[in-house]
Amino acid sequence: MKNRIKGLVKLREEKNRSGGLDKIKKRKQQGKMTARERIEYFFDPHTFVELQGYIQHRSSHFGLEKKKFWGDGVITGFGKVHDKTVYIFSQDFTILGGSLGEMHAKKIVNVIDLALKAGAPIVGINDSGGARIQEGISSLAGYGDIFYRNSRASGVIPQISVIMGPCAGGAVYSPGLTDFIFMVNHDAYMFITGPEVIKAVNKEEVTFEELGGAETHSVISGVCHFVGQDEKNTLDMVKELLGYIPCSNIEEPPVIETDDAFDRMEDQLNEIVPVNPNKPYNVKELIALVVDESKFFEVHRNYAQNLVVGFARLGGKTVGIIANNPDIYAGTLDVNASLKGARFIRFCDCFNIPLISFVDVPGFLPGRDQEKMGIIKHGAKMLYAYSEATVPKITVITRKAYGGAYIVMSSKHLGADIVFAWPTAEIAVMGPQGAINIIFKKDISTAEQPESLKERLITEYKEKFANPRLPASYGYIDDIIMPTETRPQLIKSLESLQNKVLTNPPKKHGNIPL
Ligand code: HXC
């Protein structure tokens, strides 16, 4: 027995040495954690249980039979975060560059399958040279098997990807299928083809950073939702996200007790909307004044900043917040904002997270570029996502709600349960200037004093439409509230909708305009 135990100790040591001490040393010199250290840092202490740690590849092409390592370049298992079970895989770059072959893929497939059966989130830490070239089709098959699992698990369990090194080739499509992507700034890259191939094919010179770094993907492409400053900061953010969301689609989000009074009135809210309707303000300040302890976990912070989305709590309960930000492009909705909003709304709806929308939107961003980029189909995604969502939907119109953008932003017409307006709300087909120029075109062009006529007409238009009384009289707004009352009104409304039951008509699935 003693010998067996000694044997196991030796075997474990061998396994934990990954691709060898020299390779681990190199990683350390690069300031990186090993795959195992990342897992240890991520989970509550002593909760990690490893699975299939002794798997090895069975390939013998191109000398691979001489390069066998325990675990085959990925560590898989489960542990606890905030006392809740989370499944994980963490690719080990010290073993064949973390490349994915048949058995490596099998381990990832196994852990996703388990997470799905157990109804627990899956977190994947990606650090890999992509498909293991020596294993050919078996590597591609492995990726295919993973993509299939990601698609099947979508909307059932939260899937989170963390990019902590290279993520190249088709490897980017598994993260691309998951709900959220985190990247480490200056230390993570995602691209379907690397700079060398691009140079050979397009004669184009591009750096790793420009092609697929965290900035490219968090600011321009929108592929990445969160950027961490280093590996630990990135993993801390993943844990923070997990604190807001349920483990699966049949669970409610966690409730966290708060000392922040439910009936807190916030005088500053009365001052937040400038008197001049053309003056911007930062909606994040408004959000901070309303939510529990001013904590707002923003998603996609650097992308399409004209729309702000993220998680917060109201009375201890998680909510998903969608808010136009007048500080950027006057809060208009464009292609990127629509994509960002629609995806966030759908995540919240999948996972039973009520939607709170703060509306101050002058309309869709007009222009040739937007039309060419397909604002029609992308704007339709927002309409679809809000309409399809069956979770509680509460709306607060703080200022402008014009045109199609009024309808899109969680109006009653798309099934919002409760719509509040501040006294500063303006709801109409378009803003006064544009409206006057269209409906009184002839009168203005023939007037002796067109400017003073315009001024008078604008005042009349504003009196009629630049306040919420008319829509309230039609029942499109449930109540006109004091800005100070926003928090208590939202908390009471959320509570009233706690047991909301609504289902969409039976169907295989809808056909969202992709
Ligand atoms: C097998 C690989 C590998 C791969 C790296 N390695 N990528 N082995 N298959 N795809 C091995 C290297 O041979 C080396 O082994 C070790 O990993 C470390 O690699 P280095 O190149 O020394 O490291 P570094 O300089 O840090 O460069 C990392 C890298 C580079 C940027 C990831 O290795 C690279 O460009 N790899 C190829 C990336 C790529 O194009 N992948 C796409 C494959 S196609 P030794 O033994 O020397 O330590 C694909 C399609 C999938 O993924 C489609 C699915 C639908």
Identify the H or E element spanning 34: none
Q: Would you say the CB of residue 140 lies under 6 angstroms from ligand 1?
A: yes
Asked if residue 408 is part of any domain, the answer here is: yes
Q: What mean pLDDT do residues 128-151 have?
A: 96
Asked if residue 391 is part of any domain, the answer here is: yes
Angular region, 119: left φ>0, alpha ψ -120 to 50, beta rest: left
Q: What mean pLDDT do residues 134-160 have?
A: 97
Question: Do 19 and 143 lie in a common domain?
Answer: yes
Question: Do 378 and 411 lie in a common domain?
Answer: yes
Is residue 466 predicted with pLDDT exceeding 90? no
Which one, of 152, 101, 97, 105, lies nearest residue 124 by Cα?
Answer: 105
Cα torsion through 17, 20, 23, 25, rounded to 10: 60
Q: What mean pLDDT do residues 342-371 have?
A: 97
Asked if residue 344 is part of any domain, the answer here is: yes
Question: Do 435 and 313 lie in a common domain?
Answer: no
Asked if residue 259 is part of any domain, the answer here is: no
Give the pLDDT confidence score for residue 169 in this predicted structure.
Answer: 84
Tally of residues, the chain: 514
* Among 145-154, 310-319, 335-344, 421-430, the least confident range: 421-430
Is residue 155 predicted with pLDDT exceeding 80? yes
Is residue 399 predicted with pLDDT exceeding 80? yes
Question: Do 280 and 187 lie in a common domain?
Answer: no
Question: Do 309 and 234 lie in a common domain?
Answer: no
Q: What mean pLDDT do residues 136-163 have?
A: 97
| Known catalytic membership, residue 165 | no
Give the pLDDT confidence score for residue 31 in this predicted structure.
Answer: 92
**How many of the other CB atoms lie within 10 Å of CB of 317?**
20
Q: What is the DSSP letter of 279?
A: -
> pTM for the whole thing?
0.95
Give the pLDDT confidence score for residue 513 in this predicted structure.
Answer: 96
| Known catalytic membership, residue 475 | no
Task: Determine which residue's CA is closest to atom 18 belonging to ligand 1.
Answer: 97
Is residue 170 predicted with pLDDT exceeding 80? no
> Residue 296's pLDDT band (boundaries 50, 70, 90)?
very high
Question: Do 18 and 113 lie in a common domain?
Answer: yes
> Residue 433's pLDDT band (boundaries 50, 70, 90)?
confident
Question: Is the dihedral angle over the CA atoms 180, 138, 53, 20 positive or is it negative?
Answer: negative
Asked if residue 273 is part of any domain, the answer here is: yes
Q: Would you say the CB of residue 18 lies under 6 angstroms from ligand 1?
A: no
> Residue 282's pLDDT band (boundaries 50, 70, 90)?
very high
* Number of helical (H) and strand (E) elements in the chain, helices listed first: 21, 16
Which domain covers residue 99, as residue numbers?
2-242
Question: Do 222 and 286 lie in a common domain?
Answer: no
Question: Do 208 and 345 lie in a common domain?
Answer: no
Computed over every residue of the chain, the mean pLDDT equals: 95
Q: What mean pLDDT do residues 387-398 have?
A: 98
Question: Do 198 and 282 lie in a common domain?
Answer: no
Asked if residue 486 is part of any domain, the answer here is: yes
Asked if residue 247 is part of any domain, the answer here is: no
Spatial neighbors of 281 by CB under 8 A, at least 6 apart, are 272, 273, 274, 326, 327
Asked if residue 256 is part of any domain, the answer here is: no
CATH number of the domain at 275, please.
3.90.226.10
Q: Would you say the CB of residue 309 lies under 6 angstroms from ligand 1?
A: no
Is residue 220 predicted with pLDDT exceeding 80? yes
Q: Which residue has the tokens 């977190």?
A: 123
Is residue 281 predicted with pLDDT exceeding 80? yes
Identify the H or E element spanning 371: helix 368-373
Q: What mean pLDDT do residues 274-300 have?
A: 96
**What token pair was written down for 219?**
């600011």
Give the pLDDT confidence score for residue 294 in this predicted structure.
Answer: 97
Question: Do 223 and 302 lie in a common domain?
Answer: no
Give the pLDDT confidence score for residue 275 in this predicted structure.
Answer: 84
Question: Do 181 and 296 lie in a common domain?
Answer: no
Task: Determine which residue's CA is closest to atom 32 belonging to ligand 1.
Answer: 129
Give the pLDDT confidence score for residue 497 in this predicted structure.
Answer: 98
> Residue 1's pLDDT band (boundaries 50, 70, 90)?
confident
Is residue 501 predicted with pLDDT exceeding 90? yes
Q: What mean pLDDT do residues 147-160 have?
A: 98
> Residue 63's pLDDT band (boundaries 50, 70, 90)?
confident
Question: Do 461 and 472 lie in a common domain?
Answer: no
Q: What mean pLDDT do residues 113-117 have?
A: 98
Q: How many domains does the chain have?
A: 3
| 67 CA closest ligand 1 atom index | 46
Question: pLDDT of 357-373, one tens digit each?
Answer: 999 999 999 999 999 99
Q: Would you say the CB of residue 131 lies under 6 angstroms from ligand 1?
A: yes
Task: Determine which residue's CA is closest to atom 21 belonging to ligand 1.
Answer: 97
Residue 236, helix vs strand vs coil: helix
Catalytic residue (choose from 115, 405, 416, 421): 405
Alpha carbon distances (Å) from 125 to 53, 97, 288: 16, 14, 31
Give the pLDDT confidence score for residue 310 in this predicted structure.
Answer: 98
Residue where one domain finishes, among candidates 242, 276, 292: 242
